[in-house]
């Protein structure tokens, strides 16, 4: 207890402790925010750096840094404060990438461990051993950081007189020196404890060695597998690796190195090989990559593997300018719901800005990828230019892409563009975004409402893009119907019947539900055509498959596999191994075929291998992940698939799950795969009855919402009570149904589809929305607004009653108008 009191009577030590904890708290302050247009990294760094300098002056002035003045523990506090300062400085200087969570936590634990040395005599024996064990690990950590920054030592030494900031470079090395001093002094007093330190250091070294050896072995196996599978005539090697690599494995990290994880450059010891806003700094990955030869699998193929395993296509979007340091500042979402028409319109206004000041303060390009609900279509785009909202103009995808690339790449003006992508995705680009001035854009999405036996559900639109973890989100939901929401969570509050609001931090997963309403009788009329929503009763047609093909992966259960084989009876059953070899499945090889499927995380079924497409049935159990058609573009597999379906073939596919992979979703949208889904029992009944779900579509009737509803086009006049989104959804699905085979075969020049998209103002495989800065820009690229178009979709007036503060503003405005109107008359009266 006496020692404890002595520690806290040490004014310099207590002062340093307070400075350290206050500085560490600043690391927790988020950078940026909705109401903060300044960069936070620099002010916080200046405060901590100044505090460290002042504390150094205090220690030097009091003589605590002299030999024999018991200044080691205050000095460690100074070094820890300097470490906090270095991490704050890194927010702007970017010496190294953001650390992985495990290493960040480890550094915090190491610093706390140093603080315990001042209380070492008071600790129980087991804890003293643990502290020394931790100091061995700490020495290894800071030795790594010291080596990591070694390439900067010479430059930092030269500029020290001019810039004291460069002193941060030497902090890890200095901490290593004083860690040894601290351990030596402590173990002189407690000599029996020294083995604990060596055990800690050895544990760190052994862990690194084991990881490096495991890394190298896994790398060799990956390269051998890639080389052997690259000889496959159908499936590319990267696809074979993607479907067999387990998530979370060391092989996964090897594939992600240089893409998601920083690795050493070829010329600079432990220095980064590239810069990206998506890189993370993992010391184990850095050291393993340093002690191993460069991975022979091309980065391009590894990117495709990651896209296939996780759907992270956004990370690999082609850029004209960097997006480094960008953050999503706020998201304002307005969702209009029409339950009686099974439709919704989502309007999102997104603010994006430069998150932090960096050594580079140039222009950035913001790219967002939106994952839309199945059957959804983008129907509006706006960009704020000089504070004024400018609406997007619909044109062909080729014109929009050419205009954007020319302006951004050469003229550096203010455009925004949204392009269609496979797998129910769209990409929005915004330029330029500069420090101190964010950009605001609007995107609108028309979607079907999902219906089930529990009611109707609306799901938010998800997106990837500049970091949105700290973004504020305001949500407004407007329901055009008689029934209220029944499942809207604790974040929402009902302002009045049919209107709900929420203001909260960004949440990627919220949804709301409502009871099922009867379909409305009205429709929507435009350009001489009428569009009406009708219930599409599921019907079945006679279909006795001549052969059954199994689309196998590791989501299949053995019982499902066996029952399908039994239900097939005398019909031949086939599956494909290695993506190209057709194998007949029977009792003699069923066990082997099922064991092979257990190694496959997802499947990409080679439909072109089916020789009897009109009478074949494919049975699968689709997964949520797979490569999309864009990722497969250019492969032999995709070329064969496109050639096969260009011949007019349509394949029947039954999925034992209701979800479909990105690969299958696109083929369904293009109507080259006629699908049905349900439990195994339903499949067995269909096989017994020799039936399959009929596709009740025509040129004037388009199905959506998994075939539950149809939009019919006709000439008959009726009350136009429906939203214009009926026409927009009809046009989008009609384009995909008519032109899907052309998209597959890469022949995407389709003037009629662009004309149909222009009428509905929708983004499609052939059309895009673009915003340019001036009319001269539109004229230059021959981009014109169609006169016979619905134009950009918008949120309709809700007719809501103004809030009390809104009434006050209205009254004040009216009084001001009256005063200005009658001011001359009042002046005459006074005279």
| Calpha distance 241→236 (Å, rounded) | 9
pLDDT of 519: 86
| Calpha distance 619→567 (Å, rounded) | 12
User: How many separate helices (H) and strands (E) can be counted in the chain?
Assistant: 24, 30
Give the number of other CB atoms < 10 A from CB of residue 436: 11
Using DSSP's 3-state secondary structure scheme, residue 58 falls into helix
Domain residue extents for the chain: 2-30+37-195, 209-316, 326-516, 540-695, 803-831
Q: For the chain, which ranges sit under pLDDT 70?
A: 1-5, 7, 30-42, 92-96, 159-164, 232-233, 265-278, 311-317, 356-361, 409-413, 488-490, 504-508, 579, 717-720, 746-750, 797-831
Strands (E), 413-492: 416-421, 425-433, 439-448, 450-452, 455-459, 462-464, 472-479, 485-487
Please give the order of strands across the beta sheet that includes 450-452.
Answer: 450-452, 455-459, 511-514, 485-487
Fold of 326-516: Immunoglobulin-like (2.60.40)
pLDDT tens digit sequence for 674-692: 999 999 999 999 999 999 9
pLDDT of 748: 61
pLDDT of 410: 64
Q: Secondary structure of the chain: what % helix, strand, coil (to 5)?
A: 45, 20, 35
Dig out the tokens for 422 from the structure.
């496979």
Print burial letters for 228-247: b (CB count within 10 Å at least 16), e (below 16): ebeebebbbbbbbbbbebee
Closest by alpha carbon to 272, among 89, 98, 82, 141? 98
Entry pTM = 0.80
pLDDT of 39: 40
In degrees, to the nearest 5, what angle opens at C-alpha 321 toward C-alphas 318 and 324? Answer: 100
pLDDT of 269: 46
Dig out the tokens for 559 from the structure.
């019982």
Residue in the block written with tokens 């790449």: 409
pLDDT of 829: 46
CATH of 540-695 among 2.30.29, 1.10.1760, 3.40.50, 3.30.590: 3.40.50
């Amino acid at each position: 207890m006496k020692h404890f009191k002595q520690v806290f009577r040490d004014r310099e030590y207590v002062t340093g402790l307070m400075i350290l904890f206050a500085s560490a708290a600043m690391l927790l302050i988020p950078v940026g925010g909705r109401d903060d247009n300044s960069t936070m990294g620099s002010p916080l760094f200046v405060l901590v750096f100044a505090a460290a300098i002042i504390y150094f002056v205090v220690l030097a002035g009091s003589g605590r840094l002299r030999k024999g003045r018991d200044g080691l523990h205050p000095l460690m506090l100074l070094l820890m404060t300097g470490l906090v300062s270095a991490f704050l400085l890194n927010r702007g200087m970017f010496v190294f990438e953001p650390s992985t969570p495990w290493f960040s936590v480890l550094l915090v634990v190491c610093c706390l461990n140093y603080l315990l040395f001042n209380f070492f005599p008071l600790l129980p024996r087991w804890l003293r051993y643990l502290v020394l064990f931790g100091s061995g690990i700490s020495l290894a950590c800071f030795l790594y950081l010291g080596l990591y920054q070694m390439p900067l030592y010479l430059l930092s030494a030269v500029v020290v007189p001019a810039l004291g900031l460069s002193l941060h470079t030497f902090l890890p090395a200095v901490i290593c020196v004083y860690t040894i001093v601290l351990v030596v002094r402590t173990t002189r007093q407690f000599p029996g404890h020294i083995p604990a330190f060596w055990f800690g250091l050895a544990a760190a070294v052994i862990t690194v060695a084991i990881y490096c050896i495991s890394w190298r072995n896994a790398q060799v196996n990956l390269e051998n597998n890639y080389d052997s599978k690259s000889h496959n005539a159908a499936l590319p090697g990267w696809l074979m690796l993607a479907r067999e690599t387990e998530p979370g494995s060391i092989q996964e990290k090897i594939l992600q190195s240089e893409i998601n994880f920083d690795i050493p450059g070829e010329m600079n010891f432990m220095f980064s090989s590239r810069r990206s806003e998506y890189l993370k700094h993992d010391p184990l990955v850095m050291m393993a990559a340093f002690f191993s030869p460069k991975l022979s699998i091309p980065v391009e193929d590894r990117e495709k593997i990651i896209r296939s395993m996780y759907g992270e296509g956004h990370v690999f979007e082609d850029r004209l300018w960097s997006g480094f340091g960008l953050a999503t500042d706020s998201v304002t979402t307005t969702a209009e719901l029409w339950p009686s028409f099974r439709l919704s319109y989502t309007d999102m206004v997104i603010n994006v800005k430069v998150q932090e000041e960096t050594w580079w303060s140039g222009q950035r390009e913001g790219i967002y990828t939106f994952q839309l609900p199945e059957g959804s279509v983008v129907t509006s785009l706006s960009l704020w230019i000089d504070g004024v909202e400018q609406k997007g103009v619909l044109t062909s995808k080729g014109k929009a892409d050419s205009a954007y690339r020319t302006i951004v790449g050469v003229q550096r003006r203010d455009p925004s563009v949204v392009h269609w992508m496979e797998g129910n995705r769209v990409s929005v680009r915004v330029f330029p975004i500069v420090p101190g001035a964010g950009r605001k854009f609007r995107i609108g999405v028309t979607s079907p409402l999902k219906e089930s036996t529990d009611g109707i559900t609306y799901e938010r639109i998800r997106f990837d893009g500049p970091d949105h973890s700290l973004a504020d989100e305001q949500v407004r939901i407007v329901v055009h119907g008689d029934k209220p929401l029944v499942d809207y969570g604790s974040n929402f509050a009902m302002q009045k019947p049919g209107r709900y609001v929420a203001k909260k931090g960004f949440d990627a997963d919220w949804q709301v539900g409502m009871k099922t309403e009867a379909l409305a009788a009205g429709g929507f009329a435009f350009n001489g055509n009428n569009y009406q929503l009708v219930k599409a009763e599921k019907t079945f047609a006679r279909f006795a498959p001549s052969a059954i093909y199994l689309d196998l992966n590791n989501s299949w259960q053995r019982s499902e596999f066996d029952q399908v084989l039994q239900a097939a009876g005398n019909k031949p059953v086939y599956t494909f191994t290695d993506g190209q070899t057709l194998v007949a499945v029977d009792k003699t090889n069923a066990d082997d075929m099922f064991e092979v499927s257990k190694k496959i995380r997802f499947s990409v079924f080679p439909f072109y291998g089916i020789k009897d497409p009109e009478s074949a049935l494919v049975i699968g159990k689709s997964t949520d992940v797979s490569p999309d058609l864009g990722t497969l573009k250019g492969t032999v597999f995709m070329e064969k698939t496109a050639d096969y379906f260009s011949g007019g073939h349509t394949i029947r596919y039954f999925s034992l799950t209701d979800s479909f992979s990105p690969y299958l979703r696109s083929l369904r949208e293009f109507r080259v795969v006629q699908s049905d889904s349900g439990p195994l029992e339903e499949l067995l009944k269909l096989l017994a009855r020799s039936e399959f779900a009929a596709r009740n579509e025509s040129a004037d009737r388009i199905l959506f919402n998994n075939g539950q509803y149809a939009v019919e086009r006709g000439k008959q006049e009726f009350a136009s009570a429906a939203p214009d989104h009926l026409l927009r959804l009809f046009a989008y699905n009609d384009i995909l149904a008519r032109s899907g085979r052309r998209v597959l075969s890469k022949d995407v020049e389709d003037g009629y589809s662009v004309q149909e998209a222009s009428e509905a103002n929708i983004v499609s495989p052939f059309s895009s929305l673009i915003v340019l800065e001036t009319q001269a820009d539109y004229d230059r690229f021959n981009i014109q607004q169609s006169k016979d178009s619905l134009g950009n979709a918008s949120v309709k007036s809700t007719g809501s009653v103004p809030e009390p503060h809104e009434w006050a503003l209205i009254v004040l405005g009216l009084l001001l108008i009256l005063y200005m109107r009658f001011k001359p008359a009042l002046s005459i009266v006074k005279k």
